[in-house]
């Protein structure tokens, strides 16, 4: 059952939630888990189909607009609806909200790559029918979304009619009461082409401002004894009708091919037709086999096995599966905060990618991780322009919220002021290099990104009393904004600066020609490298001698503590119930801040400081952000707080499946899903990637029988198995490797497993 998410609720509230949970995608195309036949007329639903990075621009309206505020924001669009299939049994339209539902189950198959519904339905006039719906978004043909429906009569021989619609008249979902959603601009697409020709339904739309275009070319087929076919077009949609004779089971299949101008140029329809022609002889079961083969390969490296808790096993596999469905795999796309499962945060890419989601792919599917880095590189020029708008003569300030590069955050205190995103991106490049030793990337994209982000810190910071200080920024904690010397920002900037110097010196030694090329391209002067080194070596990292903790910033400890214990439950999340200035005046955290820095750069501080900081900030953290639980869980593992580590892991692993934050209907929390993997591998597994190699410190929660995961590291595949009385490392692929295990060096030999028993004894065996 851990490979299958089952949802059998039929009430409208849970239907909306399950639209997100049962969404399907492949990184390019995403479809929410809507019913093909729709709901009741008064039902609130978010019926959505999305293409990663396909967007329009909308005007940002300010009461008082100041210099540097973005004029427009980007917004992912709900595109052409190819889901709709109405079914008639005789003259009665099938609906789960009419007649009587005798059996109902829907499920998501994470090992097989499809979703399905089983229904036994009795119509208002007593006609009993079995219906079996299956749908998939192909991992091997990225443009393809397919639906398969089997209808079987139980006590009648009435004709069965399928009415399939492809509709270009679509809108985005809005909620004016929730700042995490768009609050307007719902209608952004115009239908430009509608026709039915050569047996295909064709609809084409254009975005109002960007003029990006999307097309859906749809092929349909039935398996029935005899049927009558008809097609009908309106100004915005194409409708196909198959009236099948009754008495036997009939099957209807719908193949939707989506194309857009970002990937396919202007020949959208022609490309869609070509895709359909290539798939002409393909059956739905053929697509299922291709899904299974793709996922067998994915899970062979990426699976995490938990022995002893089926719910948490389901949680980690659900997280990994949804990450795979959402992550961009082409140069045009990244992975948004809600993936391709909903419209929350308008499809924007945040720092969530680098800190929470990229590590999953880096350690299991490095080619996908590289694509995410190359996408960030593709918007480097936008980041440089943003830095100029913000008054910096040099450097790159990556946008807080974006799709193709421009800043889309209208609220600068918790948006643009989070300068740390540039250091986060630099950090991810460094981690990628340490894991892959990709010299080509280092010499080109990585070096340029590190140089430009290092320049930013010299621009925004300054030397004072022999220390390098960074003023007026916001750290990860969005309840504390516009502060001086945020510890997270400063320590990440230090890491960024130090590595920029390191890469420069490396190129001086190893590839002077490439360095000269980069210097010419970026107009880099040698004195800048000296400035980087001086800033890194003298970076001010706030520390309170009395509490023996790293201060979150210069002023944090001088504020009054928020009384979380006496704050009513209905007042959470605080951002929906208190003015930002109220929150800024207190010691209260939305999410991990200093504690996150201690996870990412643990060697900067003593274990005593890390422990004291954890204990202090945990009491003040609301976890109103889904990015928070996992970080506190990981650091609880490091500090030996095993009960806390396990408790936090349970919160993050089931956050969407149990709708813990109450807003899963707007889309899944992709960063939390990345955090679920980190909680296991970096928490229970103790994984850290450092300059001197791979370090692990595994332990097992006492109510589990075992834990297993795999890692890719420098052309090696390592399997880690943790049991109550022993830990087993197996070097499945690649050359011998020395790692650090609980602080001691350990040699892993190729093709052998290394078993370490609780009593400290060790043995090796061939695999």
Q: How does pLDDT run across 22-65, given as a tens digit for each residue?
A: 999 999 999 999 999 998 877 778 999 999 999 999 999 999 99
Residues 136-177: pLDDT tens digits? 999 999 999 999 999 999 999 999 999 999 999 999 987 655
The pLDDT, as a whole number, for residue 412 is 96
Residues 63-99: pLDDT tens digits? 999 999 999 999 999 999 999 999 999 999 999 999 9
Residue 178's pLDDT band (boundaries 50, 70, 90)?
A: low
Residues 249-260: pLDDT tens digits? 999 999 999 999
| 521 domain residue, yes or no | no
Token digits for 559? Answer: 């504020």
Q: How far apart are CA 30 and CA 50, in angstroms?
A: 5
The span from the first CA to the last CA of the chain, in angstroms, equals: 29
Which residues make Cβ contacts (< 8 Å) with residue 145, sequence separation at least 6? 24, 29, 31, 49, 82, 135, 136, 137, 138, 255, 256, 258
Strands 305-307 and 200-207: unpaired
Q: Give the position of tokens 């929150």.
A: 583
| 123 domain residue, yes or no | yes
Q: How far apart are CA 712 and CA 361, in angstroms?
A: 9
Percent of the residues in the chain that have a pLDDT greater than 90, as a whole number: 94
Residues 435-483: pLDDT tens digits? 999 999 999 999 999 999 999 999 999 999 999 999 999 999 999 999 9
Strands 693-696 and 726-733: unpaired
- Domain containing residue 220: 81-298
- Angle formed by the axes of helices 447-460 and 487-510, to 10°? 130
Q: Give the position of tokens 């880690």.
A: 720
| 630 domain residue, yes or no | no
Q: C-alpha angle with apex 688: 294 to 372, nearest 5 degrees? A: 45
Strand segments (E) across 67-183: 72-76, 85-89, 92-93, 100-109, 114-122, 128-137, 144-153, 160-167
CA atoms within 13 A on the CB side of 630: 28
Q: Give the position of tokens 């043909």.
A: 141
| 255 domain residue, yes or no | yes
Q: pLDDT averaged over the chain?
A: 96
Query: Is 50 exceeded by the pLDDT of residue 183?
Result: no
Query: Worst-scoring range by mean pLDDT, 169-173, 214-218, 642-646, 711-715?
Result: 169-173
Query: Is 90 exceeded by the pLDDT of residue 272?
Result: yes
Out of 158, 213, 452, 478, the active site residue is: 478
Q: Which of 298, 327, 345 is the last residue of a domain?
A: 298
Strands 560-561 and 586-587: parallel
Concerning whether 478 is annotated as a catalytic residue, the answer is yes
| 488 domain residue, yes or no | no
Q: How far apart are CA 345 and CA 336, in angstroms?
A: 8
| 270 domain residue, yes or no | yes
Strands 737-741 and 693-696: parallel
Of the candidates 257, 217, 227, 258, the residue with the CA atom closest to the CA atom of residue 163: 227
- Report the CATH number at residue 89: 2.70.98.40
Residue 760's pLDDT band (boundaries 50, 70, 90)?
A: confident
Q: Specify whether the CB–CB gap between 80 and 168 falls below 8 A.
A: yes
Of the candidates 640, 554, 597, the residue with the CA atom closest to the CA atom of residue 605: 597
Residues 335-392: pLDDT tens digits? 999 999 999 999 999 999 999 999 999 999 999 999 999 999 999 999 999 999 999 9
| 94 domain residue, yes or no | yes
Which residues make Cβ contacts (< 8 Å) with residue 539, sequence separation at least 6? 467, 468, 490, 491, 493, 494, 497
Token digits for 453? Answer: 């982000």
Contacts 24+ apart (CB under 8 A), 503-510: 503/442, 503/446, 503/447, 503/450, 503/451, 504/447, 504/451, 504/529, 506/442, 507/443, 507/447
Q: How far apart are CA 329 and CA 369, in angstroms?
A: 9
514, with CB counted inside 10 A (0-12, 13-18, 19+), is: middle
On the question of a cis peptide bond just before residue 573, with omega within 30 degrees of 0, the verdict is: yes
Total number of domains constituting the chain: 2
Q: Alpha-carbon dihedral of residues 419, 425, 430, 433, nearest 10 degrees? A: -170
| 101 domain residue, yes or no | yes
Q: C-alpha angle with apex 722: 717 to 728, nearest 5 degrees? A: 55
Which residues make Cβ contacts (< 8 Å) with residue 347, sequence separation at least 6? 50, 52, 53, 55, 74, 75, 76, 336, 338, 403
User: Under DSSP, is residue 479 helix (H, G, I), strand (E, B) or coil?
Assistant: coil
Range list of H helices, 462-606: 487-510, 512-522, 526-537, 580-584, 594-600
Count of H-run helices and E-run strands, the chain: 21, 33
Which residues make Cβ contacts (< 8 Å) with residue 273, sequence separation at least 6? 198, 200, 202, 217
Percent of the residues in the chain that have a pLDDT greater than 70, as a whole number: 99
Of the candidates 444, 313, 445, 434, the residue with the CA atom closest to the CA atom of residue 362: 434
Residue 184's pLDDT band (boundaries 50, 70, 90)?
A: low
The sheet that has 227-233: what strands, in order across it? 92-93, 85-89, 160-167, 237-244, 227-233
What is the pLDDT averaged over residues 488-503? 99
Q: Which of 268, 298, 328 is the last residue of a domain?
A: 298
The pLDDT, as a whole number, for residue 38 is 93
Q: What is the pTM of this model?
A: 0.97
Q: Give the position of tokens 């399928």.
A: 162
Q: How far apart are CA 751 and CA 634, in angstroms?
A: 30
What is the pLDDT averaged over residues 662-683? 96
Token digits for 99? Answer: 């007649």
Q: Which of 277, 298, 319 is the last residue of a domain?
A: 298
Q: How far apart are CA 332 and CA 375, in angstroms?
A: 7
Query: Is 60 exceeded by the pLDDT of residue 285?
Result: yes
């Amino acid at each position: 059952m851990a490979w299958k998410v089952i949802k059998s609720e039929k009430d409208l509230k849970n239907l909306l939630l399950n639209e997100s949970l049962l969404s399907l995608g492949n990184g390019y195309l995403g479809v929410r888990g809507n019913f093909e036949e729709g709901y009741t007329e008064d039902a609130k639903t978010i019926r959505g189909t999305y293409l990663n990075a396909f967007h329009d621009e909308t005007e940002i309206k300010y009461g008082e607009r100041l210099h540097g505020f973005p004029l427009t924001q980007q917004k992912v669009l709900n595109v052409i609806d190819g889901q709709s299939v109405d079914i008639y049994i005789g003259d009665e339209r099938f609906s789960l909200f009419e007649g009587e539902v005798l059996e109902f189950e829907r499920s998501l198959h994470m090992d097989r790559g499809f979703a399905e519904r089983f229904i036994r339905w009795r119509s208002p006039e007593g006609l009993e029918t079995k219906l079996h719906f299956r749908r998939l978004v192909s991992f091997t043909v990225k443009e393809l979304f397919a639906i398969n429906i089997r209808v079987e009569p139980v006590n009648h021989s009435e004709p069965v009619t399928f009415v399939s619609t492809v509709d270009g008249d679509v809108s985005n979902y809005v909620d004016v009461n929730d700042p995490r959603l768009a609050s307007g601009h719902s209608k952004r697409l115009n239908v430009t082409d509608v026709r039915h020709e050569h047996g295909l339904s064709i609809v084409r739309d254009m975005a109002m401002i960007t003029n990006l275009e999307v097309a859906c070319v749809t092929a349909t087929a039935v398996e029935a004894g005899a049927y009558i076919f008809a097609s009908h077009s309106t100004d915005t949609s194409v409708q196909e009708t198959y009236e099948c004779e009754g008495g036997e089971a009939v099957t209807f299949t719908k193949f939707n091919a989506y194309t857009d101008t970002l990937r396919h140029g202007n020949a959208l329809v022609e490309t869609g037709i070509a895709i359909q022609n290539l798939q002409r002889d393909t059956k739905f079961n053929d697509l299922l086999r291709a899904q299974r083969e793709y996922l067998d390969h994915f899970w062979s490296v990426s699976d995490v096995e938990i022995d002893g808790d089926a719910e948490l096993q389901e949680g980690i596999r659900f997280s990994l599966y949804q990450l795979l469905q959402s992550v961009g795999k082409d140069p045009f796309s990244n992975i948004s905060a809600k993936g391709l499962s909903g419209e929350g945060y308008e499809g924007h890419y945040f720092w969530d990618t680098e800190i929470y989601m990229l590590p999953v792919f880096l350690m299991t599917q490095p080619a996908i991780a590289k694509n995410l880095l190359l996408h960030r590189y593709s918007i480097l020029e936008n980041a440089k322009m943003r830095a100029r708008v913000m008054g910096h003569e040099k450097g790159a300030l990556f946008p807080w919220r974006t799709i193709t590069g421009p800043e889309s955050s209208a609220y600068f205190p918790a948006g643009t002021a989070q300068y740390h995103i540039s250091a986060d991106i630099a950090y991810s490049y460094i981690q990628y290099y340490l894991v892959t030793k990709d010299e080509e990337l280092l010499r080109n994209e990585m070096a340029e990104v590190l140089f430009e982000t290092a320049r930013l810190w010299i621009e925004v910071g300054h030397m004072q009393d022999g220390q390098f200080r960074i003023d007026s920024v916001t750290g990860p904690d969005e309840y504390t904004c516009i502060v001086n010397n945020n510890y997270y920002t400063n320590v990440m900037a230090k890491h960024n600066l130090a590595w920029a110097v390191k890469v420069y010196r490396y190129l001086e030694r190893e590839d002077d020609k490439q360095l000269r090329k980069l210097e010419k391209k970026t107009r880099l002067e040698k004195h800048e490298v000296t400035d980087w080194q001086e800033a890194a070596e003298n970076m001010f990292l706030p520390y309170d001698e009395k509490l023996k903790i790293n201060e979150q910033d210069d002023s944090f400890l001088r504020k009054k503590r928020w009384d979380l214990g006496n704050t009513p439950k209905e007042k959470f999340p605080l951002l929906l119930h208190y003015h930002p200035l109220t929150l800024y005046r207190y010691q209260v955290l939305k999410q991990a801040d200093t504690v996150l820095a201690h996870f990412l750069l643990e060697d900067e501080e003593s274990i005593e400081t890390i422990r004291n900081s954890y204990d202090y900030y945990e009491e003040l953290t609301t976890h109103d952000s889904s990015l928070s639980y996992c970080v506190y869980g990981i650091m609880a593992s490091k500090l030996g707080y095993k009960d806390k580590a396990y408790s936090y892991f349970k919160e993050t692993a089931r956050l969407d499946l149990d709708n813990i934050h109450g807003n899963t209907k707007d889309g899944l929390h992709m960063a939390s899903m990345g955090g679920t993997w980190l909680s296991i591998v970096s928490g229970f597994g103790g994984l850290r990637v450092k300059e001197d190699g791979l370090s692990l410190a595994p332990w097992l929660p006492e109510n589990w029988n075992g834990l297993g995961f795999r890692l890719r590291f420098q052309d090696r595949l390592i399997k880690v198995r943790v049991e109550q009385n022993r830990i087993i490392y197996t070097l499945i692929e690649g050359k011998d490797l020395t790692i650090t295990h609980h602080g001691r060096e350990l040699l892993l030999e190729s093709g052998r497993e290394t078993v370490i028993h609780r009593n400290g004894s060790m043995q090796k065996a061939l695999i």
